[in-house]
Amino acid sequence: MGRPSLRVLLDALAAAAGPRPRALVLADDRAAPDRAGLEALVPEGVAERVVVVASGGRGPAAARNAGWRAGDAPWVAFLDDDVVPARDWPARLVADLRGLDDEVAASQGRVRVPRPPGRRPTDWERSVAALERARWATADMAFRRAALASVGGFDERFPRAYREDADLALRLRAAGWALAAGTREVEHPVGPASPWVSLRKQAGNADDALMRALHGPGWRAAADAPRGRLRAHAATTTAGALALVLAAAARPRAAALCGAAWLAGTGELAWRRIAPGPRTAAEVATMLATSALMPPVASWHALAGRRRARALAARPAAVLLDRDGTLVHDVPYNGDPERVKPMPGARAALDRLRAAGVRLAVVSNQSGIGRGVVSDRQVEAVNRRVEELLGPLGPWVVCPHAPDDGCSCRKPAPGLVLEAAARLGVAPERCAVVGDIGADVDAARAAGARGVLVPTPRTRRDEVLAAPERARDLGGAVDLLLGGS
């Protein structure tokens, strides 16, 4: 937000032919949001539908989560603020979504990057043009709201663009959803950029390290992502560092050999970037300077990303929460939303998990349904009230059976935990279950997940003593799970 391109986008949407959206949500992710300034940019044709939300400067994943959670339509179409939709974009969006099978989570639009007339594109222009080949780029992507909710939305541990969308696509596929390509089109003009933009983009190597930690070494193939040059960058950086060390140690011959290797690696990278470009004096000078700096910058970001990924890997990828006695006060067989009262500090604890990129789900025994005390509809109304008070909680996985029904889902059986993990696209061993009785911990153990007990007055002493991990309240459990005390 705040770039001149936003007004161009809004004007294009106002002038487009076809159906209007239920809401047009502007997600302002600037550290100092300007609601009035944004609303002043909105043309009359769409002003009555505009909703402005702020996400605190935490990056595009957080902004998109704030955006889709602000609406209620069954489909959410994301557009970056620097694209220009075609005049028939709304009509073709509806056509792309109409008739999709229920298991299709998303439809990707086509991105077209205009080329400069009469000359070869610069390195920056070629970088932007790569969006035309990117899979699941959220520059123009429509998601089914139920699919986003089922996996907890975008992972906010990705602070930059370009990997948060690939991560979401892989998690949706792992949870059994399919993704489709649409026919609608947006234009993505190449905006102005600093000569050093290619160095700033190397920060993405840290996100690649997180992708590997989350999805394994085959994530690039699974996400249809190009291989990259990190190995070559690491080799060039190592050669340059050794040349300096050996020169300082008065070993000129060895230093010269390493220096030659550094020069060869740097020269190869520079030529690879210069050859397809316009080869003007300014472009060549920029490529030479940035090619000398790019390998160490990329290597540094990759190492920093690996350190951060190792720290995050110690955390659970998902936390599955019991409802009664953990999220809200336990009211036996409650079917009245008015009686829902959150546990002290529950909202703050959940917000910390969301900010850390941990996915959430609720796993709850509701035997009142099987006993005929409450209805499915009443339980769903109570669950909606819980989310109104505590925020989105991901998929709700509920066992409606009575204790004597012999089902495989009722805790302490592992069924609820396994189903929630599958719906989130997370292996059970990457999950933690937080509950207030021994059945919650036992269900976690049976599924191969981590179990944390948060006792209440109704928790039996033997359950407290048997729990492998305990916390005084939900906030303490979050401390434990995020690596605190």
* Of 27, 303, 51, the residue nearest 154 (C-alpha): 27
Q: What angle do CA 77, 104, 60 make, to 5 degrees?
A: 35
* Strand 84-85 relative to strand 178-187, pairing: antiparallel
Non-local CB neighbours of 183 within 8 Å, separated by 6+ positions: 92, 95, 96, 110
User: Any idea which residue has 């123009």 for tokens?
Assistant: 140
Catalytic member of 167, 322, 436, 442 = 322
Catalytic residue among 28, 324, 436, 442: 324
Cα 469 from Cα 485, distance rounded (Å): 12
Question: In whole angstroms, what is the distance from residue 350 CA to residue 390 CA?
Answer: 8
Strands 359-365 and 50-54: unpaired
Active site residue 479: no
HEC per residue, the chain: CCCCHHHHHHHHHHHCCCCCCCCEEEEECCCCCCHHHHHHHCCHHHHCCEEEEECCCCCHHHHHHHHHHCCCCCEEEEECCCCEECCCHHHHHHHHHCCCCCCEEEEEEEEECCCCCCCCCCHHHHHHHHHHHCCCCCCEEEEEHHHHHHHCCCCCCCCCCCCHHHHHHHHHHHCCCEEEEEEEEEECCCCCCCCCHHHHHHHHHHHHHHHHHHHCCCHHHHHCCCCCCHHHHHHHHHHHHHHHHHHHCCCHHHHHHHHHHHHHHHHHHHHHHHCCCCCCHHHHHHHHHHHHHHHHHHHHHHHHHHHHHHHHHCCCCEEEECCECCCECCCCCCCCHHHCCECCCHHHHHHHHHHCCCEEEEEEECHHHHHCCCCHHHHHHHHHHHHHHHCCCCCEEEECCCHHHCCCCCCCCCHHHHHHHHHHCCCHHHEEEEECCHHHHHHHHHHCCEEEECCCCCCCHHHHHHCCCECCCHHHHHHHHCCCC
Query: Of 259, 233, 231, 257, which Cα lies nearest the Cα of 244?
Result: 259
| Residue 101 CA from chain centroid, whole number | 24
Active site residue 376: no
- Please identify every residue annotated as catalytic: 322, 324
